[in-house]
A and B are shown apart, each in its own frame.
Chain A
Amino acid sequence: MSKTEKKPVSTAKVRDFCSKRRMIVIITAIVLAVTVIGIIVRGVGVAIEFKGGTVITYDCLNDVDAGKAEEVVRSIVNTSVNIRTGENIESDGKQLTVSFTSENGLTADRQAELTAALQEAFPDSDITLSDSNDVSPTTGKEFFLKCIVAVIFAAILIIIYIAIRFRNIGGWSAGLCSVLALVHDLVVAFAASVLCGFEINSNMVAVLLTILGYSINNTIVIYDRIRENRQLMPKAAMNDIINAGCSQSLTRSLRTSITTVGTMLVITIVVLISGYDSLLSFSVPLMFGLISGTYSSLFVAPVTWSWWMEKKAAKSKAKKK
């Protein structure tokens, strides 16, 4: 680029993002199909704090292996099981606390079966039933409803904010499209979690919220470039401005993603090697959500938006005629 040229726009090669509509529709369809099939095939496991279940405490003579106990209990109750070991203060003995989700509690027969199985698996531990409780969900339907209202409320505030800050490039539609991209990323993270067979627990809530923040930030960085291009090139066509904005942000988008996805990859590898599997339900969906965030901020948000603007322009043209 020669120095005399007035355009202070970057040297990045402008790629045509706006023409990739077909690809976006196909990818979105695949994502949705995989999610639906995943939910049907694998089912959605919900953790005890959201669903309610049974908490049983056993007294035992010595420390039992939590991993082995988990297997024994899981083979009987057929849901994921949380095992905790500890000490009873009054009797000074060891204790084993088993919690798992269950519909309408556990019958006496099943409980006896469970106790017998544990006694058989740990013959030296002298396992006896200490206490059994059928518990209601700690954070039930109300929590989910409130979560949904909170997220919708936050989304509306974000749309209003984008509408105001990006008014020179048609802010309302930009805001709505950014939320569309956000929903896309949330679905991907959720699908990744379901496909891996992780149950919905509070880690999942944290993952979805992280994706929410990250995805919006990603989209806005690209919108910012489009907004700036609009000022620098007031006469250019909308699609050109969007293409230029996405192209200029491409390096930054990829590099930022490499650091964040890389961080999750490091965590996933370390967790796999060291065997603390419970962290996987956190790092794996987050990693997929982050990858999706990079894609959706470059394609889903700007391209659906350009589509929208084109439709709007065509409509107003038709009206004039």
Chain B
Amino acid sequence: MTLYLLGGMTVKKIGKSTFFIVVALILLFSASSVLGLDYQYGDNKTTLINGVDDIRLGIDIQGGVDVTFKPSGDYDATEDQLAAATEVINRRLVSLGINDSEVYSDAKSDRIIVRFPWQAGETDFDPESAVKELGETAELTFRRGSDYETDPEDENSVIPTGEIVLSGADVESAKAGSQPNDNGEYEYVVQLVLSESGKDKFAQATTELAGTSTPISIWMDNTMISAPTVSSAITNGEAVISGSFTTYEDAKSMADTISSGALPFKMETSSFKTISPTMGEGSLDAILLAGIIAFACIAVYMLVLYRLPGAVAVIALIGQIAGSLAVVSKWFGFMDSSTLTIPGIAGIILAVGMGVDANIITGERIKEELRSGKSLDSAIKIAYKRAFTAIFDGNITNVIVAIVLIGAFGVPSSFFSKILNHTIFYFFGATTEGVVYSFGVTLLAGVIFNFIMGVFAARLMVTSLSKFKCFRNRKLYGGDVK
């Protein structure tokens, strides 16, 4: 059965050296995920691997920014528009990995209040630049021609006058990519997939303009990003913004902004302020202290109860905690960084609890098999095999929970959300909720690490140690003396 892949894996190749290799790998991983890796070159700090210092902490622990937005000009937003704008901001926060935020809207005065924590390692604490992280609050438009007129109120700015072909609402998703430009050099671009309505409008406009010298210009509010001419009609609903991104991050941030949805009205900031951490730096120390005490207790408990497998469990648990932290700190390059919040810590605690459980289940099983009179080698082998079905089923049900939560409350353009939002949550609008989402992510990661550390690595270590003559004593595994 394929399910026994991990549990029933053949153990022929496990030798004495396996233990040292596994321990070395776990320690290396743990050290790098806690300390991180960066180097200083002149004034530039380049971070190769994110460590604990690179984790963005929740508002209560770290403090943050409080910014109030209002519609620009005398625009009077409706309640629905205000709610839509609130949701767009929520989505942007989550797609930036900011999972601890508060977004309030006041329908009477058309204000939106956003609070979010400082970036990890923030040093200049300037709220104005922090707010820039939220992305443009400007409106994206594609316009026929590149005509504009000077703003009558401000000589230095312009107002586009071309007929609007597409707006942000016609874009279904956007992602950053790269493609060769006219000179054959690769440049960063934002690739857009248009919605059904956008597809038709864009096809019509590009058919009319194909081959003419009239360009289609792309604007963020009153700033023109580019104005490409149309060489042929585009009917597949794909569009590309190019020519203004110098780095991949520039392109990605623009893509994230566009995919989070268009703001229904233009906004400007009406006030900034900083928020002091309510719980203070001390709260983090208190949480850390509690964590260290709890871990020490668990370690002693496991050692006393299970001796050698207990010692192995402690090593595996270190790896598992490091794994959970690595997920939050973006140790893995392919994942987005997240925010360490109380719910996130809950996810880590649950995962560690499941890890301890996996080790207790196997520890108990080894004892049982030894007491029923089996030899040490076959007791270890059978114990891991039998314990595995329980661990497997228990963890897979948690994967189900995690995936439902990630899908229900994550960014709408993500994989799981797409599946769930078109089926089970069809009647709901997209509600992005960073708190629940971050819980789901840490839980999912914890389960994966439970399989890697609590099952696979622990098994390799115990089996390898049992090859040493000095570790052949059955008492070390909780068995009776033969």
Contacts and interface: CB of A to CB of B under 8 A. Distances in A.
Interface of A: 1, 3, 8, 10-11, 48-49, 55, 57, 66, 82-90, 95, 97, 105, 131, 133-136, 138-139, 142-143, 145-147, 149-150, 153-154, 157-158, 161-162, 165, 202-203, 205-207, 209-210, 212-214, 216-218, 220-221, 223-225, 227-228, 248, 251-252, 255-256, 258-260, 262-263, 266-267, 269-271, 274, 276, 278-279, 282, 286
A319 B435 CA distance: 52
B357 A221 contact: yes
A10 to B, nearest CB: 5
A161 B346 CA distance: 25
Contacts of B364: 251-252, 255
A256 B290 contact: no
Contacts of B113: 55, 133, 135
A28 to B, nearest CB: 23
Contact of B104 (A136, A158, A217, A224): A136
B48 to A, nearest CB: 32
A217 B290 contact: no
A153 B104 CA distance: 29
A271 B285 CA distance: 11
Contacts of A262: 294, 297-298, 301
B159 interface: no
Nearest 3 pairs of A and B residues by beta carbon: A206-B343, A224-B390, A135-B104
B88 to A, nearest CB: 13
Contacts of A150: 404-405, 408-409, 425
Contacts of A87: 273-274, 276
Nearest to A261: B353
A48, A84, A214, most chain B CB atoms within 10 A: A84
Contacts of A161: 393, 396-397, 400
Contacts of B282: 274, 276
B57 to A, nearest CB: 14
28 contacts: A84-B276, A84-B278, A86-B63, A88-B272, A89-B273, A97-B275, A146-B408, A146-B431, A149-B408, A150-B405, A202-B343, A207-B346, A210-B346, A214-B350, A214-B353, A217-B395, A218-B394, A220-B394, A220-B397, A224-B389, A224-B393, A251-B364, A252-B364, A259-B360, A276-B282, A278-B60, A279-B283, A279-B286
A149 B211 CA distance: 52
Contacts of A228: 386, 389
A86 B276 contact: yes
A255 B86 CA distance: 46
Nearest to A48: B104
Nearest to B64: A86
A188 to B, nearest CB: 17
B338 to A, nearest CB: 14
B109 A133 contact: yes
Interface of B: 60, 63, 66, 68, 83, 86, 102-109, 111, 113, 127-128, 271-276, 278-279, 282-283, 286-287, 289-290, 293-294, 297-298, 301, 305, 342-343, 346-347, 349-350, 352-354, 356-357, 360-361, 364, 368-369, 371-373, 386, 389-390, 393-398, 400-402, 404-405, 408-409, 424-425, 428-429, 431, 433, 435-436, 439, 443
Given A213-B398, A217-B398, A205 B435 contact: yes
A83 B278 CA distance: 8
Contacts of B297: 259, 262-263, 266
Contacts of A248: 368
B354 A209 contact: no
A206 B342 contact: yes
B68, B357, B371, most chain A CB atoms within 10 A: B357
Contacts of B402: 213
A220 B393 CA distance: 7
A154 B361 contact: no
B68 A97 contact: no
B278 A10 contact: no
A153 to B, nearest CB: 5
Given A135-B113, A138-B86, A90 B349 contact: no
A278 B283 CA distance: 10
A147 B431 CA distance: 10
Contacts of A55: 104, 106, 113
A97 B275 CA distance: 9
A210 B409 CA distance: 16
Nearest to B382: A8
Nearest to A290: B353
B286 A274 contact: yes
A298 to B, nearest CB: 14
Contacts of A89: 127-128, 272-274
Contacts of A209: 343, 346, 401, 405, 436, 439, 443
A252 B342 contact: no
Nearest to B408: A150
A112 B305 CA distance: 63
A260 B428 CA distance: 36
Contact of B346 (A225, A251, A282): A282
Contact of B401 (A216, A220, A260): A216
Contacts of A256: 353, 356-357, 360
Contacts of B128: 89
A133 B111 CA distance: 8
A135 B105 contact: yes
Contact of A158 (B68, B279, B400, B425): B400
Given A216-B394, A263-B298, A154 B404 contact: yes
Contacts of A267: 287, 290, 294
A105 B107 CA distance: 11
